Amino acid sequence: MKGGTGSFLCVLLISTITSVVCFRDGMLPNGDFELGPKPSDMKGTQVLNKNAIPSWELTGFVEYIKSGQKQGDMLLVVPAGKFAVRLGNEASIKQRLNVTKGMYYSLTFSAARTCAQDERLNISVAPDSGIIPIQTVYSSSGWDLYAWAFQAESNVAEIVIHNPGEEEDPACGPLIDGVAIKALYPPRPTNKNILKNGGFEEGPYLLPNSTTGVLIPPFIEDDHSPLPAWMIESLKAVKYVDVEHFSVPQGRRAIELVAGKESAIAQVARTIIGKTYVLSFAVGDANNACEGSMIVEAFAGRDTLKVPYESKGKGGFKRASLRFVAVSTRTRVMFYSTFYAMRSDDFSSLCGPVIDDVKLLSVRKA
């Protein structure tokens, strides 16, 4: 594998003839499901043959869905391309990848719930697994991008996306599309920042044609964060946004706190008791019609700071800093948004303030 941006990854395709394909960070082979089953492998929308969808192995009740297809009064929409898959009760899709043992990887995928209310997905690469709830819809389209990370325990990783639900209607399962992967390179602290990945430049893969950002679930949902060095200490997700589609205060990536106090990120830093430190950061909006009065609350050990920000929803940011004296050898730095917010252009997409360029430095006493 080549390190850095655009690293190569090999995939072991599941078919009657085993072959190995190498590709760059990005979409898995047929990760967008545009290559579909033959008509002879279908019964209505249900896929009958476990190897009918190229590059994937299916288990249970899996449907091949075309964009615009109707289910009762519901119109099923696909975020990109023309096709997606739907996982029924206890159904799963899987693909095997050649990876580098010991390295960290992040999966990105699109998911949408259909007629079930409490839908969730079980993502696993043995021995890691995590349950991702998708009942909260963050965007007006109904589709959200999620990230989940794992550490490779061997040179082959079997990625499984499974619906653990048990609905009366087996067709009431989540829709899946756009499955991608990216190698993660855990950052280290520097003499310019005690915190690691303070600019959020290292994170999950962002689909080039997606304009929604990527949701990073709470850290309790996975053992390894798709946002290296940071924990998602909340009941709801935070959103990873890029400069190509959003306003970002510094660099190319930032975090949007999209669920009020239920959307928080944290990192534990090594500090020296009695020493003075300054926590500095940028607060802004993502230029996504998220308007109104916002407040970001910052915490460093026992000290707190509330930073108000008046958003016009058109981009912009301000800088703030919190000076404190360490009372422990480990200091928890945390951020969350005081209020919930909705985008003014659709009133159904959750949004919030953006934070970026987070730095922690020690200072000499006057």
Backbone angles phi, psi at 74, to 5 degrees: -95, 130
Cα separation, 294 vs 317, in Å, equals 12
**What are residue 254's DSSP bridge partners?**
241
pLDDT per residue of the chain (366 residues) written in tens, 0 to 9: 333 444 445 544 444 334 444 446 899 999 999 999 999 999 999 999 999 999 999 999 999 999 888 776 677 778 778 999 999 989 999 999 999 999 999 999 999 887 766 688 999 998 888 888 887 777 767 788 999 999 999 999 999 999 998 777 777 788 999 999 999 998 888 889 999 999 999 999 998 888 889 999 887 655 689 999 999 988 888 999 999 999 999 999 999 999 888 889 999 999 999 999 999 999 999 999 999 999 999 999 999 999 999 999 999 999 999 999 999 999 999 999 998 888 887 777 889 999 999 999 999 864
Which pLDDT value is given to residue 15? 41
Contact of 356 with 251, CB cutoff 8 Å: yes
Tokens read off for 128: 């890691």
Q: How many CB atoms lie within 10 A of CB 2?
A: 11
Tokens read off for 285: 């909006």
CATH architecture of 214-362: Sandwich (2.60)
Torsion 244-250-255-256 (CA) sign: negative
**What are residue 329's DSSP bridge partners?**
none
Domain ranges of the chain: 26-184, 214-362
Q: How far is CA 99 from the centre of its chain?
A: 20
Nearest CA to 283 out of 305, 259, 268 is that of: 305
Q: How many CB atoms lie within 10 A of CB 332?
A: 15
Tokens read off for 300: 């460093």
Nearest CA to 114 out of 60, 165, 42 is that of: 165
Contact of 237 with 145, CB cutoff 8 Å: no
26-184 and 214-362, same CATH topology: yes
CA–CA distance from 67 to each of 41, 104, 138, 209 (Å)?
19, 34, 20, 17
Q: How many CB atoms lie within 10 A of CB 320?
A: 18
pTM of the model: 0.89
How does DSSP classify residue 193?
B
Tokens read off for 122: 């079980």
Domain range 26-184, CATH class:
mainly beta
Cα separation, 247 vs 203, in Å, equals 17
Which pLDDT value is given to residue 10? 53
- Which residues contact residue 143 at a Cβ distance below 8 angstroms, ignoring those fewer than 6 apart? 77, 79, 110, 111, 112, 175, 177, 212
Contact of 193 with 39, CB cutoff 8 Å: no
Residue 80 C-beta-side C-alpha neighbours within 13 Å: 20
Cα separation, 269 vs 275, in Å, equals 13
Which pLDDT value is given to residue 221? 54
Cα separation, 78 vs 156, in Å, equals 30
